[in-house]
Amino acid sequence: MGINSKPVVFAILSAVVILIGTVVTVFVPLFMPSTQPVSSYVKPYTAIELEGRDIYIREGCNNCHTQTVRPLRTEVLRYGEYSKAEEFAYDRPFLWGSRRTGPDLNRLGGKYPDSWHYKHMQSPQSMFELSNMPAYGWLASNRLDTSNSFRKTSIQGFGYSAEQVKQQIADYAGKVTSAGYDSKTTRDLVTPASLRGELTEMDAIVAYMQKLGRDVKSMEAKR
Amino acid sequence: MKDSGYEYSVVRGFAFSALFWLVVGLIIGLWIAFEMFNPALNITPWLSFGRLRVVHTNGLGLGFGLAGIFATAYYMLQRLTRTPLPFPRLARAHLWLFNTAIALAAVSLMAGMNTTKEYAELEWPLDIGVVILWVMFAVNVFAILIKRREKQMYISLWYLIAMTVTIAVLYIVNNLEIPVTPFKSYSIYVGANDANVEWWYAHNIVGFIFTVPVLAMFYYFLPKATGLPIYSHRLSIVSFWSLIFAYLWTGAHHLMLTPLPEWIQTVAIAFSIFLIAPSWGSVMNGYYTLHGNWEQMRSNYLAKFFILGITFYGLQTLQGPLQGLRTLNAFFHYTDWVVGHVHMGTMGWVTMIISASFYYMIPKITGREIYSIKLANVHFWFILTGQLVWTITMWIGGIQQGAMWKATNPDGSLMYSFLDGLTSLYPYYRIRFAGGVVYFIGILIFGWNLIQTVRQKPATAEA
């Protein structure tokens, strides 16, 4: 039997055989714009939202939360409009997830005020006694590291200048530390006194929570 | 015959590394299983579920799974080619580097250095390490095959070749990323494409770690342990080529009803159904090998492991494609059903086969008899019972959760909040934890049995 006595030929043939399905279902779609369409309604993340997203990644939130609402009646009822490919045009990496120990988050933005998130992150059990989500109050004790923010947005291809990134960070810091911030009381409650005047990791992840699905919601509102 | 020049120290090293990472990975598994119904166990960020779950999957998939594969591969390669390992020092370096990499992987994942792409969570410096490790392994694989003294390559060698080639392609393509810092990178793919590449990878890395090399073990150690030749060589040829061809088309069945283009999902469903055939080709080949000699299920403790193992493989490869069907997927996806599915494969099929392979192989390479067949039988029943309790509980829990997500009142509104669905699972999570403990005890007995085996005095009569 020819091939079973020719290891190199065997290896090459195996490589060809495994590459056929790979090329058709993975490589070809990479070059089809329809796989990942872009919509002017969906805006890239701000530097702060991207930092928040990176904290979401670091903490492995995707192990319990999905970010794709399926086109099923009860799913749309529970979470909102089903997910469209356009929404993920700035997602590197994608965070669709594979398991819902917690609920889907793709339509979370704007559903609750910031104060809700501060409180919930600090102690999920204080709001839902039987929740099994870990507490993330300690994020408020970590100063947000923005030293790589510009580099991050550049690699992501968001097209912000260094100045714009600096401005986004300053704007958001201004917002959450101002006396008029609508979630000020709760933020002060969860944030150690020494960090109340600065951005924390908690601020960033809340900003990211509020971005999720926001563009689609505003698009629908305009209709 | 006594000294054939075969390099067995590295086989032994990898076998005990596998055992070590198995125990570590299972302790972490028990820990996170407990966190599922008692979040107070999320004591520090390093021990929080989101980080630890990844240590569990990587620790067992890469630490235990790969070490078990390397151990048996280095053994099978030498035996089946009747050739000593061409580069034994490279293999020993491979062993040390492998354990260092797994330890670094565990620490870095606990520290939150994590790309989120399932089973490819390691950050880019460790990715490079993994590629180097793979090359070190591949050099020995191909060198020994080229130098071999046995003309025909047996079935197991085909599977090892396919694994060596395919893992390299999968790992490199899916881990292409742009570094931000030494501890952080971003995928080069965006959104739907990133998802498609990732699940092509994740599905196939499971296939080419938990199926292909485990089949190599099955085809080699089953005939060795039973003294019976494989039933059909032709069936194994057909199964092999159709398996490795069809596998790569099916990743998108993990992305059913997501924004991924529908045609990719549908193609994945079709090939998933097709995959039942080659999978069952191996199952039937295993069953018919014992045809006429089924009394070995009583008389030969290893036959039990192999036959139960291949049975779980058969069930796994029926359940998988069915879960991929859109309607069933709409119900089961994102629930604990899938978690049960995965664990039938890992706790049933993979561990059963690796256990039996080690029981056969360790006495051979050390010139000792197995310490206790009785303990091996106890080990068998513990891991079988533990696994069944574990997986069946998760299937029931998954069905319940799926049903609660879908339940509506007569007016069309949702009947249950998300939290209702979650809290109704806590009793199942407790039972699952108990099943895990039973399984873990079985594994401890396994480890004890192997350690005692190598600590005995060598048998003098035979070498």
Q: Which residues of B touch A131 (CB under 8 A)?
A: 39, 419, 422
What residue segments make up the domains of chain B, in order of their start?
1-188
For chain B, the average pLDDT equals: 96
pLDDT of res. B463? 42
User: Which residues in chain A touch residue B190, judged by CB atoms under 8 angstroms apart?
Assistant: 36, 88-92, 94
Q: What tens digit of pLDDT does each residue of B311-333 get? A: 999 999 999 999 999 999 999 99
Element (H, E) at B185: strand B184-187
Contacts of A62 in chain B (CB under 8 A): 50, 116
- Selected residues 72-131 of chain A with any CB under 8 Å from a CB in chain B: 72, 74-75, 77-78, 83-85, 87-103, 124-125, 128, 130-131
pLDDT tens, residue order, chain A (223 aa): 589 999 999 999 999 999 999 999 999 999 999 999 999 999 999 999 999 999 999 999 999 999 999 999 999 999 999 999 999 999 999 999 999 999 999 999 999 999 999 999 999 999 999 999 999 999 999 999 999 999 999 999 999 999 999 999 999 999 999 999 999 999 999 999 999 999 999 999 999 999 999 998 888 887 7
Average pLDDT, chain A: 96
Chain CA centroid to CA A114, Å = 16
Instruction: Kindly report the CATH number that applies to the domain delimited by A47-222.
Output: 1.10.760.10
* Selected residues 162-201 of chain A with any CB under 8 Å from a CB in chain B: none
Q: DSSP string of B32-86? A: HHHHTT-GGG--SGGGSHHHHHHHHHHIIIIIIIIHHHHHHHHHHHHHHHT---S
pLDDT at B1 over 50: no
Q: Read off the pLDDT band of B459 (50, 70, 90).
A: low
ipTM of the complex: 0.97
CA–CA min distance A9, chain B (Å) = 11
Q: What is the pLDDT of residue A1?
A: 56
pLDDT score, position B457:
80
State CA B132 to chain mean position distance: 21
For the stretch B275-318, pLDDT in tens is: 999 999 999 999 999 999 999 999 999 999 999 999 999 999 99
Contacts of A89 in chain B (CB under 8 A): 190-191
Q: Identify the CA nearest to A93 among candidates B127, B114, B112, B190.
A: B190
Chain A, 22-81: which have a CB under 8 Å from a chain B CB?
22, 24-26, 29-30, 32, 34-36, 54, 57-64, 66, 68, 70-72, 74-75, 77-78
Note the pLDDT of residue B2. 43
Tell me the CATH number of domain B1-188, given options 2.40.50.660, 3.40.190.90, 1.20.210.10, 3.30.70.3340: 1.20.210.10
With CA atoms as reference, the chain B residue closest to A1 would be B152
Q: How many CB pairs under 8 A join A and B?
A: 243
For residue B460, the model assigns a pLDDT of 57
CA distance A197 to chain B (A): 24
Q: What is the DSSP string of B401-456?
A: HHHHHH-B-TTSSBSS-HHHHHHTTHHHHHHHHHHHHHHHHHHHHHHHHHHHHHHS
List of chain A residues whose C-beta atoms are within 8 Å of the C-beta of residue B267 = 24-25
- Tell me the pLDDT tens digit for each residue of A125-152: 999 999 999 999 999 999 999 999 999 9
Task: Give the one of B54, B186, B268 whose C-beta lies nearest to A60's C-beta.
Answer: B54
CB contact under 8 A, B190 and A36: yes
Q: How many Å lie between the alpha carbon of B451 and the closest alpha carbon of chain A?
A: 36
SS3 B186: strand
pLDDT band at B78 (very low <50, low <70, confident <90, very high): very high
